[in-house]
Amino acid sequence: MTQIASSFGRTIGYLRISVTTRCNLRCVYCRPSDLSFEERRDQFLDFDEMLRVVRVLAGAGLYKVRITGGEPLVRSGVVEFIGEVAQVPGIRDLALSTNGLLLKKHAEALARNGLHRVNVSLDTLDPDIFSLMTGGGRLQDVLEGIDAAQEAGLVPIKLNVVVTRGFNDDQVAQLAALTLTRPWHVRFIEYMPIGGDEHLYQQRFVPASEVKQQLIQSFGALEELEWSGISASRNFRLPGAKGIIGFITPMTEHFCAGCNRLRLTADGKVRPCLLTEIETDILGPLRAGISDEELLQLLRVASQFKPEHHEALGAWRGQRNMVQIGG
Ligand code: SAM
């Protein structure tokens, strides 16, 4: 098996598949497009096409797949699709990113079908702030979804917090405190200027260093945990905690040197870097009857477009928004 070499000495082992651009929330930092937006078959990949990409990549060293969106659980058939991905030889880490609203309903079936773990977006523990940040979401539904995931064994549960000035930057200690009694990972993510709104970015961005300072003031010194060199998250533990605190710092300290990811967008583009606009279309070639060998070759070429690191830190302004790319 020849692995997929990316540029600058990296190897591809991880695929993030966005299965839909639709979402049942409208988060302030993400802003999905119109909820009634329809995904036409001629413009979006079907599950068989996504599965084919997984199989072809798995033959060349892919071992990790994350299903994301939009909100992946709003696409019907996704639970069965996850079951098929879980059967692909070589895939040993299969995860789902979700806002958690539909997790209570699906957690058990997801676990039964072979999903290993979930990451859930959770920006606050205050129901009113949650509703404000998500465009009307109900916090209780997410909390019940997280509990259902824990019960189903979709662990370790990782909670993603986008720290957003003026919305939840005063909530970080409360969220971090979840790790004191639960084996969860609470990961603070720096707000990225996805979609290119510079003005909002300037208003809302909070550097991870500030969050860290707040946590040290509230809990005392953080214990630094070993870093794999590949993970986007730098991990710490609060004194005496069961769980883990993570900082994901795309804007102030990039982690590109060990990046082994490719992204597949719902509309069939391979994107080697979230924060770089280069994309390679595979929907067209797939529907034109490309062979597996040709597909693999196309994926190899796409991987070569992974930049050494994303554009000058803090200066990048993307055009496609997060639901179009897949978070
Ligand atoms: N709907 C799922 C969810 O809520 O996790 C998956 C898609 S969502 C786009 C994936 C991740 O992207 C979430 O953790 C979300 O918080 C993060 N995200 C979205 N917009 C972001 C932004 N502007 N900056 C940083 N993270 C962002």
Ligand 1 contacts CB of residue 68 (under 6 A): yes
Residue 260's alpha-carbon distances to 39, 52, 135, in angstroms, are 29, 20, 33
Ligand 1 contacts CB of residue 69 (under 6 A): yes
Task: Give the model confidence (pLDDT) of 251-281 as tens digits.
Answer: 898 778 888 999 999 999 999 988 778 899 9
Whether the predicted pLDDT of 317 surpasses 80: no
Ligand 1 contacts CB of residue 81 (under 6 A): no
Ligand 1 contacts CB of residue 189 (under 6 A): yes
Average pLDDT on 64-84 reads 97
In this predicted structure, which of 104-113, 209-218, 245-254 has the lowest mean pLDDT? 245-254
Ligand 1 contacts CB of residue 279 (under 6 A): no
**Site to substitute for ligand 1 among 185, 322, 324, 325, most atoms within 8 A of C-beta:** 322
**Site to substitute for ligand 1 among 19, 71, 160, 190, most atoms within 8 A of C-beta:** 160
Task: Give the model confidence (pLDDT) of 144-189 as tens digits.
Answer: 999 999 999 999 999 999 999 999 999 999 999 999 999 999 999 9
Predicted pLDDT at 327: 76
Ligand 1 contacts CB of residue 145 (under 6 A): no
Question: How far is ligand 1, taken at its centre, from the CA of residue 135, in Å?
Answer: 14
Question: How far is ligand 1, taken at its centre, from the CA of residue 288, in Å?
Answer: 33
129: left (phi over 0), alpha (psi -120 to 50) or beta: alpha
Ligand 1 contacts CB of residue 188 (under 6 A): no
Predicted pLDDT at 254: 79
- Of 91, 2, 74, 90, whose CA–CA distance to 32 is shortest? 74
CB 102 within 8 A of CB 110: no
SS3 state of residue 59: coil
Ligand 1 contacts CB of residue 322 (under 6 A): yes
**Helix spans in the chain (H):** 47-58, 78-86, 103-112, 127-134, 139-152, 172-176, 178-181, 198-204, 208-219, 283-287, 292-303, 322-325
User: What's the angle, vertex CA 25, arms to CA 126 and CA 174, rounded to 5?
Assistant: 20
Average pLDDT on 37-58 reads 91
Distance of CA 138 to the CA centre of its chain: 21
Neighbours of 310 (CB within 10 A): 20
Token pair 């019907």 is found at 76
Ligand 1 contacts CB of residue 97 (under 6 A): yes
- From the alpha carbon of 29, which atom of ligand 1 is closest? 23
All structural domains of the chain, each given as residue ranges with its CATH number in brackets, are 7-325 (3.20.20.70)
Residue 296's alpha-carbon distances to 52, 212, 303, in angstroms, are 10, 42, 10
Whether the predicted pLDDT of 101 surpasses 60: yes
- Of 299, 315, 295, 232, whose CA–CA distance to 6 is shortest? 299
Token pair 């078959």 is found at 41
Question: 85 — phi, psi (to 5°)?
Answer: -65, -40
Averaged confidence pLDDT in the chain: 91
Question: How far is ligand 1, taken at its centre, from the CA of residue 108, in Å?
Answer: 23
